[in-house]
Structure 1
Amino acid sequence: MITNTTTIRLEIEKGIRQKGHSLSSFGKQAGINRGIISGILNGNPPKSISIRQLDLMAEALGHAEGWMYEYYVDECFINEKADWRRIKAFLLRCTEIGRYDCIKEVLDRLMEDLNNTISIFGLAEELYAEGKVQESLPFYECVIENEKHQHSERLAISHYRVFRASIGENTEENFRATIRFEPFRDRLPENFMLDGLLALANVYYTLENWYHLEICGDELITLSNAVYTECKRKMNETGNYQEVDTERALVFYYGQGYLIKALALEYLEKYEEAKTFISYYSDLSWFENLDEVGKKEVEKFKLFAIANMNNLNLLLGDDTSLDEYVSFLLEHPHEILPSICIILESANKHNFSIDNIIETLLDALSSNDTSDKNYYKNTKSINRYVDLYYQLALYNFQKNNPAQGLDFTLKSLKIAFEISNKNKILERILLFEQFRNFSNKDHLNLYNDMIKEANKSEKANITDSFSFGAN
């Protein structure tokens, strides 16, 4: 009976004959001891082949990477028993050259015994720790599909890793990733939960889901306070302060909880209540055991508090400190992008005239590292540019500059399509249609091209009802 392991050996023997090699000359060519090759081909039972040896022999015979991998799976399960050392080496090699078909076949075999999820999870974590995030995902997905214990940390961490890796620029994909991960967030260890809540909050911000954003803020406040209290208790008992194993300093999560809460309240138009929560992160210098990184975070929160308090005053219709606020933003240009959107929104809401201010801030924005040539670096910035152009469009329409208003509407619409944000797409299309009579040929051509391209796109069937614009 010819098996896959037999087939590998027959192919090796065939190649050796075709190349005119003896076992000795082939061994020298491949860099493998003659005795090992003899044991592999002639042993009774034949000596097992390591994946490294198979690769060396494939190269010596002139074959491409991955030669005979589809047959090598059986080599990992001698007498149907899994050889984890051999399996791990094979799986790692498959991740290097993209043989995910072989990875799937091995994982399917391993899952005949669900206890193997422990080893699979360990391998996934090793890959993740080495920065091989995409390579780790098939193994986390395997754990998700096969973990027997639904409340295990392994399952929750696997969901968390897949969630973090899934977040990108596409709003719809981010939404689906969030729905999948959310039920598992409270099953994570505390250090993972802090980062998980922060990641969820970022997605809810881009989705403009202020209700769930507020919940994330509340949970982050509660958790970071609890972790801080526990750290202090342990320090009082032992005399040593042990930092939590998180991506950022603990003070960062503490401040972010209150910042996220205030931000959600701002968008829910609960401005006075939002001011209360800004005060909680405006001065965190009292936070114990701050290292240099933590002290820098405290200084950042001070800046955030100044900017956000000014934003709330503007939204309430108070522009008495606007000139002073603009000077502050010019000194801290990284705060211009989020703040200029609020300044414009306030001007549109309360009929402020801010032509010179907008020109000054836009010039500073374009010359700074946070300019539009770099805004695709993160999803939050992308959404801010969508909003910036939209608010600029509204401002120009109010100022009776419809041509410029349409320019900015189309800029905003273009990015909204790129990130597949349905709500923003519809909002901008309705705005364009409202002022269509003021459009010129260039406006209409660009608009119709975007609508046609979106209708052809397979990203999402979100533009079927928008075809009225392409005529």
Structure 2
Amino acid sequence: MENATTIRSEIEKELKLGGYTFNSFGQATGLNRGIFSAMLNGNPPKPISVRQMDLITKAFNYPEGWLYDLYVDECFYDGRPHWKRVKPFLIRCVEVGNLRCVEKVLSRLMEDLNHIPTIFALAEELYEEGKLKEAIPFYECVIENEKYQHSERLAISHYRIFSISVSESMERNLEATLRFVPFRNRVPLEYHLDGLLKLLNLYHNLHQWKEAERYADELRALTTIVCKSRGTNKKSFTLKTERHLVVYYGQGYLMKGIALEKQERYEEAMKYISGYADLSWFEDLEGIGQKEVQKFTLWANANQLSLKILMGDTSSLPMYIQFLKNNPPEILLGLLTIVESANKHGFLIEHILQQFSHELASFNNELSMKASYYKQSFSYDTYADLCFQLAIYMFNNLSHEKGIYYVLKSLKKCLEISSKEKFMICTALFERFRNKATKDQKSEYEGIMEEVLINASKKP
């Protein structure tokens, strides 16, 4: 009971220094005098709760967490973990960012691996409450200590961390992905579907098209099996996915086609459009499902026109431009398609850029991107690509100042989303045409490079 005595000795020392009586300190903390006395003088002493510890700390005017290190042993009164104190203490520690104490408690708990299910249950509870970051240390504990490598609990922990960790940073995305991938087939069906869709979107944003194609194939295969199972077992079939089932089915075809398109396998990509062009046959669509089906139909029309343009069919441009005007969320991607094709096939698009001059000027506005049904990370990535392609177009047509303008736009966005490869390519492009840059453009470029150095110095 050494540490239990120590925490009480610390409190008693402060009582004497402050000249408090049990009665006066009880009034200062709001604690009942008898309860406070039992904490210090009881035989055995009454355990101290996390709330009571925080009230005592505040009354002594000490910073939050003053007694937390000493409280670890209070959680293991009599040498055994007392969950009524352990759980609130762990939650409080993650809330205030005291991961050191979390690690101490978890280390003690893991002396008996029978506590792993309890830790996992706490992680799931926090996750369901929306306390995602708070749940991570507990999922990590399960991963590090789970002795059964094929346990569902282990696989779910990997999936949860993967889901939580997916962020705007490409670097962190990839790290989280590589940890989850070996466990993707071991999670329950709902998480399997959600996990594959997240993997697919992530590799799409990373422009790793072979991997994107691979997970598109896996998603199409899995959703086909699920649809068949649902058709034969309607009464017993329940599925709690993040999205409507039609989304997983349609995305498998849509993203397969996009992955092929990005590899310039346009004819193959065209074949997959029919897989999501009309999904009205899907069962149980209702309101949400019907809206998703409408989006897939719209994307099918857009992608069919887009592929024709990428293959050099300029006769499809008027129809495509009208489509973009009728569907503003598609303008960003549509302009990227047009500029890429112009660079590849050598046709002029000044008249098109003029028609969308307002949109080009507003794309860098965060609010305009949030108005889209595309995720912000996807929009930012697409915007960086569009600026790069516009720079190429301007340089090809000897509009050097405009070319530098778009290179700088792309550089800034690549830095923001931590896209190292694109950043390096844009840097090389700027250096090639540095002698064409204005004094202000050179100064702006130097500012961007200075920001790179500052960010690098902040990393451990």
TM-score range normalised by the length of the shorter chain: over 0.9
The equivalent of 1:415 in structure 2 is 413
The equivalent of 2:306 in structure 1 is 311
The equivalent of 2:423 in structure 1 is 425
Per the TM alignment, residue 446 of structure 1 is displaced from its structure 2 partner at its CA by 2.7
User: CA offsets per residue over residues 230-281 of structure 1, 9 Å max, x none?
Assistant: 222221xx3x7x5511111111111111111111111111111111111110
The equivalent of 1:203 in structure 2 is 202
Equivalent position amino acid for 1:23 in 2: F
Where in structure 2 are the equivalents of 1:39-438 lying within 5 Å? 39-235=38-234, 238=235, 243-364=238-359, 366=361, 371=365, 374-375=368-369, 378-438=376-436
2:404 and 2:430 in contact (8 A); partners too: yes
| Structure 1 residues 28 and 441: alpha-carbon distance in aligned structure 2, compared to 1, 3 A threshold | closer
The equivalent of 1:468 in structure 2 is none
Per the TM alignment, residue 448 of structure 1 is displaced from its structure 2 partner at its CA by 3.6
Q: Aligned residues, how many?
A: 455
Per the TM alignment, residue 27 of structure 1 is displaced from its structure 2 partner at its CA by 3.0
Taking the aligned partners of 2:210 and 2:75, their CA distance within structure 1 comes to 51
1:416 and 1:424 in contact (8 A); partners too: yes
Per the TM alignment, residue 24 of structure 1 is displaced from its structure 2 partner at its CA by 3.5
1:265 and 1:271 in contact (8 A); partners too: yes
| Structure 1 residues 143 and 328: alpha-carbon distance in aligned structure 2, compared to 1, 3 A threshold | same
Per the TM alignment, residue 459 of structure 1 is displaced from its structure 2 partner at its CA by 7.7
Unaligned runs of 5+ in 2: none
Per the TM alignment, residue 100 of structure 1 is displaced from its structure 2 partner at its CA by 1.6
Per the TM alignment, residue 63 of structure 1 is displaced from its structure 2 partner at its CA by 3.1
Per the TM alignment, residue 287 of structure 1 is displaced from its structure 2 partner at its CA by 0.1
Equivalent position amino acid for 2:329 in 1: H
2:142 and 2:157 in contact (8 A); partners too: yes
- Seq. identity, %: 49
Equivalent position amino acid for 2:313 in 1: D
1:336 and 1:365 in contact (8 A); partners too: no
**Secondary structure of 1:391's match?**
helix
Taking the aligned partners of 1:169 and 1:184, their CA distance within structure 2 comes to 23
Taking the aligned partners of 1:437 and 1:9, their CA distance within structure 2 comes to 72
Taking the aligned partners of 2:239 and 2:361, their CA distance within structure 1 comes to 39
Taking the aligned partners of 2:395 and 2:194, their CA distance within structure 1 comes to 41
1:265 and 1:274 in contact (8 A); partners too: yes
| Structure 1 residues 54 and 207: alpha-carbon distance in aligned structure 2, compared to 1, 3 A threshold | same
| Structure 1 residues 144 and 374: alpha-carbon distance in aligned structure 2, compared to 1, 3 A threshold | farther
Normalising by structure 2, we get a TM-score of 0.93
| Structure 1 residues 354 and 342: alpha-carbon distance in aligned structure 2, compared to 1, 3 A threshold | same
**Secondary structure of 2:452's match?**
helix
Taking the aligned partners of 1:100 and 1:374, their CA distance within structure 2 comes to 38
| Structure 1 residues 153 and 460: alpha-carbon distance in aligned structure 2, compared to 1, 3 A threshold | farther
Taking the aligned partners of 2:193 and 2:35, their CA distance within structure 1 comes to 52
RMSD: 2.2
The equivalent of 1:465 in structure 2 is none
Taking the aligned partners of 1:454 and 1:246, their CA distance within structure 2 comes to 40
Taking the aligned partners of 1:372 and 1:319, their CA distance within structure 2 comes to 32
Taking the aligned partners of 1:459 and 1:387, their CA distance within structure 2 comes to 27
| Structure 1 residues 100 and 53: alpha-carbon distance in aligned structure 2, compared to 1, 3 A threshold | same
| Structure 1 residues 105 and 21: alpha-carbon distance in aligned structure 2, compared to 1, 3 A threshold | same
Taking the aligned partners of 1:403 and 1:212, their CA distance within structure 2 comes to 37
Taking the aligned partners of 2:368 and 2:135, their CA distance within structure 1 comes to 29
Unaligned runs of 5+ in 1: 462-471
Taking the aligned partners of 2:28 and 2:259, their CA distance within structure 1 comes to 67
Normalising by structure 1, we get a TM-score of 0.91
1:333 and 1:365 in contact (8 A); partners too: no
1:27 and 1:34 in contact (8 A); partners too: yes
The equivalent of 2:8 in structure 1 is 9
2:362 and 2:368 in contact (8 A); partners too: no
Taking the aligned partners of 2:438 and 2:27, their CA distance within structure 1 comes to 75
Per the TM alignment, residue 334 of structure 1 is displaced from its structure 2 partner at its CA by 0.6
Equivalent position amino acid for 2:39 in 1: I
